[in-house]
Chains A and B, each alone.
Chain A
Amino acid sequence: MSKKKGSSISYARYGYLFSLPFVIVYAIFHLYPTIYTAVLGFTDCKGLGNNNWHIFTEDIWRNFRTILNNNTFKTSLSNTVVIWIMNFIPQIVLALLLTAWFTSKRNQIKGQGFFKVVFYMPNIITAASVAILFNTLFGYPKGPVNDLLVSWGLRSEPYYFTNNGTAARWIIAFIQFWMWYGYTMIILISGVLGINPEIFEAAEIDGANDRQVFWQITIPNIRTILTYTLITSMIGGLNMYDMSRMFNNGGPNNSTLTANVFIYNQAFSGSYMYNRAAAASMIMFVIIAVLSIVVFYLMRDRHERRA
């Protein structure tokens, strides 16, 4: 920066002053609740309007052990991961394919603006509305999907989608895929457009074909953006709440129950087990943090020179 040392020192207080609102609100409304949640995990705080709770003096990991041994929590955790993988793999594959098509000089796809707008559109629609819409679309016996399946002769009788765990899970994974591939595609396209065009020209002169260019130039050059996509999608996927709760409230038989719906149910329905919900939240926090760091290190560019 071109500023002189003398002038910057006298203005330093404005840096503190202008970041003060952020710091105060963050400390009170974000940091404190985070610490509070962590503490609650070590207490006997349960029941509506309970002001008289205590930190365990012995066996302080009690809630964490209860949660980790809870079969419903294990189910919800594995559901969350499975549904995320079921949606992420097709999502990234399709997004990469569309990116390759849209950025290919040879194919010159027309109407790209229109397709981008339409593919991205489901992403901004309220997840709760989308979940209920799909629940209605896959309704039994007279929902639109069954109506089409039967009238096109693909099935002789309607199928009870929402009553079958596997089907319900695939539908939720499909909705997530459908809501997010457009977003991922736009991110990846902007990544590809940011690559220095000279690299592509050089490859063309060397006689590389489309496939070689894609795998050996495009993919390595959007590595950072792929990592970003992977991590944000993973964090979002592990936090899925709206879709699971609104589509079928975790059912049938907990087969679409996600970790966040489990946490909500622990805390806010029935027994008000705030302590266990807090412990489960902290377990999720650790899982998300560890996975993000692992992904970040696995995906980092090993050939990158240290600056």
Chain B
Amino acid sequence: MNSLERRSGNPVYKAVIYIVLIFLAILSLFPFYVMVVNSTRSTQQIQDHAVSLFPSNNLMNNWNVLTGKTFNPGRGFINSVIIAVGCTALTIYFSTLTAWAIVAYEWKLKKPFFGFILAVMMIPGTITAIGFYQFMWKIGLTNNYLALIIPAVAAPGTVFFMRQYMLSSFPMELLDSARIDGSGEFKTFNEIALPIMKPAMATQAIFGFVGTWNQLFMPSILLTRNDLYTMPMMVSQLKGDIYKVEYGAVYLGLTLSVLPLFVIYFSLSRYIIAGVALGSVKG
């Protein structure tokens, strides 16, 4: 009896665990549920009862109120996609190339270079934002997406991740046999190294995309023109006086801003969780 109980655990304790887990699951989902449901309800309904488990039929009306003012979800979506795709593509390609330079070749400055990457990996971008802004302003790149996208070429955290992955799973014999076949070094990288790095690139692409999409600090410093606003910048307008009492529209705006993330997350959650477990480095 005793040994059986030891192996399967105390049933009361186990029940407590499940209750806590279910409570936490509700805690994670409920705020978003309220958000989605309220985006279909009228401001009057929300004022009467702010929590409802059932949607209503006011979605179109909320949409008209929302888009009738300054909030332009289509514009924000397109702008955010341009920046996020641009940054992600550059980060992934050049980080893999840099990792390749570190892993596949022996060169004198390789060790100091990698040491430098480790040292600067943790420096947060916000710390140097003032100098960055002044510099961009001087060379006329404020209100220009290039100022947000080009810096993505140098992503120390991603280089580090790619190097770790390459060391553990890239068979270097492939490089030698490619050389025997007469393949150029750059061609070898593009046609042999890149395909093998696909799983690592996919993981980093997801985190890179989501991270860039969610950015608020840098875009709000660099972009002042309304038509260039990203999704999180659009969302910040929902707090202003313009939407003060339009609760239904505010909830709808919030829902639209997180919808793309929900789609990405729930279709790729397996890879995302695995990616976090691999020790993805925050940008």
A187 vs B273: C-alpha distance when bound (angstroms): 10
Chain A residues lying within 8 Å of B135, measured Cβ to Cβ, are: 32-33, 36
Q: Please tell me if B257 contacts chain A, counting CB pairs below 8 Å.
A: yes
In the complex, the answer to whether A136 meets B247 with C-beta atoms within 8 Å is yes
One of A16, A26, A120, A151 near B273 (C-beta < 8 A): A120
A29 vs B90: C-alpha distance when bound (angstroms): 14
Chain A residues lying within 8 Å of B258, measured Cβ to Cβ, are: 125-126, 129
Contacting chain B: which of A195-203, A211-219, A273-281? Answer: A273-281
In the complex, the answer to whether B126 meets A239 with C-beta atoms within 8 Å is yes
In the complex, the answer to whether A133 meets B35 with C-beta atoms within 8 Å is yes
In the complex, the answer to whether B277 meets A187 with C-beta atoms within 8 Å is yes
In the complex, the answer to whether A109 meets B154 with C-beta atoms within 8 Å is no
One of B32, B49, B126 near A147 (C-beta < 8 A): B49
Which B residues from 114 to 156 make CB contacts under 8 A with A? Answer: 120, 122-124, 126-135, 137-138, 150-151, 153-154, 156
One of B24, B127, B134 near A36 (C-beta < 8 A): B134
In the complex, the answer to whether A104 meets B131 with C-beta atoms within 8 Å is no
One of A122, A124, A142 near B50 (C-beta < 8 A): A142
Which A residues from 108 to 132 make CB contacts under 8 A with B? Answer: 108-109, 111, 113-122, 124-129, 132
A143 vs B46: C-alpha distance when bound (angstroms): 8
With contact pairs A22-B159, A147-B49 given, residues A1 and B130 touching in the complex (Cβ less than 8 Å): no
In the complex, the answer to whether B261 meets A125 with C-beta atoms within 8 Å is yes
In the complex, the answer to whether B265 meets A121 with C-beta atoms within 8 Å is yes
Chain B residues lying within 8 Å of A91, measured Cβ to Cβ, are: none
Give the distance to chain A from B65, nearest Cβ to Cβ, in Å: 15
In the complex, the answer to whether A124 meets B210 with C-beta atoms within 8 Å is yes
Give the distance to chain B from A56, nearest Cβ to Cβ, in Å: 17
Q: Please tell me if B161 contacts chain A, counting CB pairs below 8 Å.
A: no
Chain A residues lying within 8 Å of B250, measured Cβ to Cβ, are: 132, 136
Name the residue in A3, A19, A106, A235 with the highest tally of chain B Cβ atoms < 10 Å from its Cβ. A19
Chain A residues lying within 8 Å of B265, measured Cβ to Cβ, are: 121, 124
Give the distance to chain A from B39, nearest Cβ to Cβ, in Å: 11
Q: Please tell me if A230 contacts chain B, counting CB pairs below 8 Å.
A: no
A274 vs B8: C-alpha distance when bound (angstroms): 63
Q: Please tell me if A88 contacts chain B, counting CB pairs below 8 Å.
A: no
Chain B residues lying within 8 Å of A178, measured Cβ to Cβ, are: 27-28
In the complex, the answer to whether B105 meets A11 with C-beta atoms within 8 Å is yes
In the complex, the answer to whether B106 meets A124 with C-beta atoms within 8 Å is no
Give the distance to chain B from A264, nearest Cβ to Cβ, in Å: 7
A21 vs B100: C-alpha distance when bound (angstroms): 13
Chain B residues lying within 8 Å of A15, measured Cβ to Cβ, are: 101-102, 104-107, 110
In the complex, the answer to whether B101 meets A19 with C-beta atoms within 8 Å is yes
Q: Please tell me if A66 contacts chain B, counting CB pairs below 8 Å.
A: no
A139 vs B243: C-alpha distance when bound (angstroms): 14
Contacting chain A: which of B66-74, B196-204, B232-240? Answer: B232-240
Chain B residues lying within 8 Å of A228, measured Cβ to Cβ, are: 279
Q: Please tell me if B47 contacts chain A, counting CB pairs below 8 Å.
A: yes
A235 vs B128: C-alpha distance when bound (angstroms): 14
In the complex, the answer to whether B154 meets A190 with C-beta atoms within 8 Å is no
Contacting chain B: which of A72-80, A284-292, A299-307? Answer: A284-292
A178 vs B38: C-alpha distance when bound (angstroms): 21
One of B25, B97, B151 near A29 (C-beta < 8 A): B151
30 CB < 8 A contacts A-B: A11-B106, A15-B104, A18-B98, A19-B97, A25-B94, A30-B120, A30-B151, A37-B129, A40-B134, A107-B13, A117-B273, A118-B29, A119-B24, A119-B25, A119-B28, A121-B29, A128-B235, A128-B236, A128-B257, A129-B257, A137-B34, A142-B47, A178-B28, A190-B276, A190-B278, A246-B236, A260-B217, A264-B221, A281-B126, A288-B124
10 closest residue pairs by CB, A with B: A37-B131, A36-B131, A15-B105, A15-B107, A18-B101, A190-B277, A26-B154, A33-B132, A25-B153, A8-B106
Q: 17 extra interchain contacts, Cβ-Cβ under 8 A, other than A26-B120, A126-B258, A274-B134?
A: A3-B176, A12-B106, A22-B154, A23-B154, A25-B94, A25-B150, A34-B128, A113-B270, A116-B273, A132-B238, A148-B51, A186-B276, A190-B276, A190-B278, A242-B217, A263-B130, A285-B123
